[in-house]
Amino acid sequence: MTSILVVGYRAFDLGLFNDKDIRVKIIKKAIRKDLLALLDQGLEWLIFTGNLGFEYWVLEVARDLQKDYDLQLATIFAFENQGQNWNEANQEKLAQFKATSFVKYAYPRYESPRQFADYNQFLLSNTQGAYVFYDEERETNLKYLYQKMKENQQYFIKRLTFDDLNEEAENFSEK
């Protein structure tokens, strides 16, 4: 398990619109714990799709871990124009994804829904597993990709759950 796809809820899916929200700190603490465990299991690459929210928080934690671990980061955007209409604060976050070790774009622009299916298949075919923050009870369009992951019994899935976050919150102290 050397390369892991990172996907999960976007900030707006969770109602988190401020990076200083205590819930973001709790999520990042849980992410750190999970990434350390994955690094112990041989993680070498984290592959992002450039979405704000969970992916961006993982990116921030991973950049911090790079100080002590040989961890490579890549972003494979679906479209070259992803994020072009985002506000200035989100453009800065987008720039962080574009500053990873490896950056590619699947398509110049959106043309058909088939592109998403092909893009998702490419991501799954080129990673050994995924780090996912998703709950089937709280569906988003991530359900299609998550279902494809589950269909492949050889594909490793590490989930961050709301139960994990509740446990983290119970033991949380700002330090």
Note the pLDDT tens digit of each residue in 79-105: 999 999 999 999 999 999 999 999 999
What is the structure's pLDDT at 172? 80
Assigned domain for 12 exists = yes
65 lies in which domain range?
A: 3-170
Assigned domain for 59 exists = yes
Assigned domain for 162 exists = yes
Assigned domain for 175 exists = no
To the nearest whole percent, how much of the chain has pLDDT over 70?
98
Query: Which CATH number does the domain housing residue 30 bear?
Result: 3.40.50.450
| Number of separate domains in the chain | 1
Assigned domain for 100 exists = yes
Q: Which two tokens stand for residue 114?
A: 């088939």
Assigned domain for 25 exists = yes
CB 82, CB 48: distance < 8 Å: no
Side-chain-facing half-sphere of 25: CA atoms under 13 Å: 10
84 CB-near residues (< 8 Å, 6+ apart): none
Whole-structure pTM value: 0.95
Q: Express each pLDDT in 5-21 by its tens digit.
A: 999 999 999 999 999 99
Q: At what angle do helices 143-151 and 114-125 cross, to 10 degrees?
A: 40
To the nearest whole percent, how much of the chain has pLDDT over 90?
95
Assigned domain for 95 exists = yes
Q: Express each pLDDT in 25-62 by its tens digit.
A: 999 999 999 999 999 999 999 999 999 999 999 999 99
Assigned domain for 119 exists = yes
